[in-house]
Structure 1
Amino acid sequence: MALRDAKAGRRNEVGIAAAVGILKQLFGERFQTGEAFRAQHAHTTTYIPPQLPDGVLFVETSDDVKAAVKVCAEHKVPVVPFGTGSSLEGQVNAPNGGISIDFSRMNRVLEVNAEDLDCTVEPGITREELNVYLRDTGLFFPIDPGANASIGGMASTRASGTNAVRYGTMKDNVLAVSAVTASGEEIRTARRARKSSAGYDLTRLFVGAEGTLGVLTSITLRLQGIPQKIAGGVCAFPSVKAACDAVIMTIQMGIPVARIELLDAVQLRACNLYSNLSYDEQPTLFLEFHGTDETVPLQSAQFAEIAAECGGGEFHWTANLEERNKLWKARHDAYWASRALAPQLGALSTDVCVPISRLADCVTETQADIEEHGLLAPIVGHAGDGNFHVLLLFDDKTPEGIAVAENFVARLNARALAMDGTCTGEHGVGQGKMSFLEQELGGAVDVMRGIKQALDPDNIFNPGKIFHAR
């Protein structure tokens, strides 16, 4: 289904040629049309074929963005924002050609308001760069999708990650954005106040829009204080259901767990081999607690009691920084660890999210599906919010292999939707999940089309993503 939705669209050859000529004059060497540059700005993360833009513009200021958008709007040329290229569903592809706007040079911290626990940044800064900058303030930005993604890209795909169970997702942590609209005007969606009843919530409209409504030029973020004490730990369980029962009890008891990640036995085997670990190859929870010298040991002890009640093994936890970093480095390397199980195969990383009470059902039914069809597909999940990922290893060189992968993804999404879940908890829709969005939301997608038409009547902003324009 992804290949069907990722087909090339209609190109405006005359407009593209005119825009390329003007942008060359305006920006000189900061505008590149060489194939190597264009290939680096197309989608290559999964099997979705790369679709190259016609030029790449390295912007340095919001005035650059406004000038570029005005040129593209005048000539009806697509604009595709580009952060670090770590998106997984074809969001940075250019199916209709056009101009890729690279934000890597717009990576400044514009303002930090330590007393108010917020900051404003340009879209090209990565989450790791931001947290290095914030370290001396005693604050940090908690959203951690695994990849060192750009803040603009994270906002555009409504990213979350391992810390979401405590700190929420990007929709909870973006207070305001500035964006360039189709008229070339820059707007700001909100002020820094923590709440407002003033008009439509335009901030949340742009957060998750995947660049289809405008181009973000700044993001105001909610920050958190760096915890006094952090502890991490590992606990094995006899089954996925037992592990999920422990998660549900932990959440229901109000234990403020910061991370609670589920790895199935196949994923744990991959992590053991890749990261030189020696954990039992069973369904396992990786956890982290944030708090004080008094609260973190208490929280860890409370979870150990829950784990024992659910049939889990001993909960091994530590506050040692080196040991915690090794644990979470292994979790963040899960993708590469899984790839190493069969390096000759292609990989498709996909995710769904279900109500937490249905997580065990969805994961176990997915494991049965994997076994029934003889597939190799490790599972790792953000168990605290019902979101899990499957990395399917498959033959991406043949139509038959691709069909096997796409059929599996279709079954996975149907399963999640039948449990009142969603086709994507954090990867976004892009090109890969357009058909599933229609299944999930039905007529609501037509409302989205109406919003898109109102804000972007010529369909220049990241066309061919989320839904097909009509």
Structure 2
Amino acid sequence: MLEIDTRPVVLDQFTVDETGRAGRRPRGVVYPVTVDDVVTVVDWAREHRTPLIARGAGTSLEGHLLARGDELILDFTQADKILDISPGDFTATVQPGVSRTRLNAAAAEFGLQFTVDPGADASLGGMAATNASGTTTVRYGGMRANVLALQAVFADGTVTRIGRAVRKSSSGYDLKDLLIGSAGTLGIITELTVKLHPIPEWIHSLRISFPTVADAVDTAVEMLGAALPVSRLELVDAPSMAAINMFRGTAYAETPALFIDIESGSSAAVAANEQEIGRIAAAHDAIEVVTARTHGDRHALWEDRHNLYFAVKASNPGCRFMITDTAVPYSRIAGAVETATRLGAELGLNITVAGHIGDGNVHTIVPYTESEYEAAQRFSDLVVRHALEVGGTATGEHGIGLAKKKYLREEHGAAVDLMAAVKRALDPLGLLNPGKVLDVNPGNPLPNGS
């Protein structure tokens, strides 16, 4: 058995998540390096009836990683080898602790990139466990679209390889995608083979300001309908732009804006697409269109967008932060943003709204003090229920974790019972990340108190 670290100073690091949500001290922490290490821990946990939580970089936002009792943490930060990069196959095979920026640095030597970009420097195993997506999803898809195969250790200690390193397959049930997004509740991912994509020769980035959110959304939807080669398409509201200005020292118009990347194989093509985007934006009353063409200018523009969360934190000292991540149909995006803005004002909250508008994902960042906690919870609940009412989802990319379990049956109905059946079949003792996604215990026939 690997050594279990039980020092309080270490365990305390695992009692809060990125948003300040609190859990309990875990029983201890182990640091597996190989799949054999994981099997050893799983066998010990099964023998001693000790629950397990697999953890990577710890960037989860929905309480996936918080201990609630006597769990043992498997910290995969030392399982961080890039095992293979195959340029001819456009694939890479990695251990779960490899971060996306490390993989991208290694892949860039071959003119390739790993495209899933959730903003944080997350680990690949954690990104698969939560089915992460982000700014590039509009073109390249999230983790489910970019993981070809994986290796996992199940609750009985079995090591299984799932999927094949090919771009498509019709063979058998798709168990790989079942594990992706399961938050470590069905199996522990110990290796991944992921897609790599060529780095485009020509990329232009644009920031376009608009009078209203509706103008920005209408422009985005028209761009997508015109089949323009957009690889990033982000919406940022006026308060977000104000926070960015204060944090980054910029002087942007403090109005709703789109942040856009367009890609092409030639300078003429990317210029033509840029011109078409400008035409569409002008038809929707764009205030300003700014283009970044050099690598440095593009990097600076996207640093502004990626630093939004830190900008909002800096503007609200002493606050904790609640982040929602609903996703809605394209036709409902403007309404979702307007609803969030109205609810924030009604509840006296200083919210900001942004989102991966290219895939309908709407984020709100809610700063709150202790006295505002109930209002923040009320806001989050109303925003989620609005998304469900208009045909959307409670979580577009952060996952269910602890925070969103109460919406699962409302969104999925009787399918929740099928999910519970799968959980019991693969983890009959309920040892893998218990209480996350579903409340399923060996003696409880129905999940979530249904």
TM-score in terms of structure 2 length: 0.96
Match 1:347 to one of 321, 335, 338: 321
Deviation, structure 1 residue 181: 0.5
Match 1:332 to one of 284, 298, 306: 306
What letter is aligned with 2:394?
A: C
Instruction: Say which SS state the counterpart of residue 188 (structure 1) adopts.
Output: strand
- 1:12 aligned residue: none
Distance between the aligned counterparts of 1:180 and 1:344, measured in 2? 41
Deviation, structure 1 residue 27: 2.2
- 1:27 and 2:2 aligned: yes
What letter is aligned with 2:368?
A: F
Superposition map of 1:141-160 within 5 A: 141-160=114-133
Instruction: Say which SS state the counterpart of residue 85 (structure 1) adopts.
Output: coil
> Any conservation in 1 of the 2:321–2:365 contact (CA below 8 Å)?
yes
Match 2:91 to one of 114, 118, 126: 118
- 1:418 and 2:393 aligned: no
What letter is aligned with 1:321?
A: H
- 1:380 aligned residue: 354
> Any conservation in 1 of the 2:151–2:192 contact (CA below 8 Å)?
yes
> Any conservation in 2 of the 1:96–1:463 contact (CA below 8 Å)?
no
> Any conservation in 1 of the 2:147–2:195 contact (CA below 8 Å)?
yes
Superposition map of 1:13-412 within 5 A: 26-28=1-3, 31-292=4-265, 293-395=267-369, 397-398=370-371, 401-412=372-383
- 1:438 and 2:409 aligned: yes
Instruction: Say which SS state the counterpart of residue 340 (structure 1) adopts.
Output: helix
Deviation, structure 1 residue 157: 0.3
Runs of 4+ residues deviating >3 angstroms: none
Instruction: Say which SS state the counterpart of residue 282 (structure 1) adopts.
Output: coil
Note the alpha carbon deviations across 1:42-91, whole angstroms, 9 max, x for none: 33312421222111001111110111111111222111001011100111
> Any conservation in 1 of the 2:185–2:436 contact (CA below 8 Å)?
yes
What letter is aligned with 2:326?
A: V
Instruction: Say which SS state the counterpart of residue 77 (structure 2) adopts.
Output: coil
> Any conservation in 2 of the 1:43–1:85 contact (CA below 8 Å)?
no
Q: Percent identity between the aligned chains?
A: 38
Structure 1 unmatched ranges of 5 or more: 1-25
Deviation, structure 1 residue 119: 1.1
Distance between the aligned counterparts of 2:14 and 2:35, measured in 1? 20
- 2:398 aligned residue: 427
> Any conservation in 2 of the 1:106–1:122 contact (CA below 8 Å)?
yes
Instruction: Say which SS state the counterpart of residue 222 (structure 2) adopts.
Output: helix
Distance between the aligned counterparts of 1:448 and 1:121, measured in 2? 28
For structure 1, which segment, 305-314 or 420-429, has the greater mean C-alpha deviation from structure 2 after superposition?
Answer: 305-314
Instruction: Say which SS state the counterpart of residue 249 (structure 1) adopts.
Output: helix
Deviation, structure 1 residue 393: 0.8
> Any conservation in 2 of the 1:51–1:95 contact (CA below 8 Å)?
yes
Instruction: Say which SS state the counterpart of residue 287 (structure 1) adopts.
Output: strand
- 2:427 aligned residue: 456
Deviation, structure 1 residue 439: 1.6
What letter is aligned with 1:389?
A: H
Distance between the aligned counterparts of 1:40 and 1:297, measured in 2? 49
Instruction: Say which SS state the counterpart of residue 429 (structure 1) adopts.
Output: coil
Deviation, structure 1 residue 147: 0.4
Deviation, structure 1 residue 415: 0.5
Distance between the aligned counterparts of 2:347 and 2:163, measured in 1? 50
Deviation, structure 1 residue 227: 0.8
What letter is aligned with 2:10?
A: F
> Any conservation in 2 of the 1:143–1:167 contact (CA below 8 Å)?
yes
Instruction: Say which SS state the counterpart of residue 104 (structure 1) adopts.
Output: helix
Deviation, structure 1 residue 370: 1.2
> Any conservation in 2 of the 1:39–1:50 contact (CA below 8 Å)?
no
What letter is aligned with 2:424?
A: Q
Distance between the aligned counterparts of 2:2 and 2:344, measured in 1? 51
Note the alpha carbon deviations across 1:346-392, whole angstroms, 9 max, x for none: 21112100011110111111111112222101111111111011110
Distance between the aligned counterparts of 1:71 and 1:299, measured in 2? 58
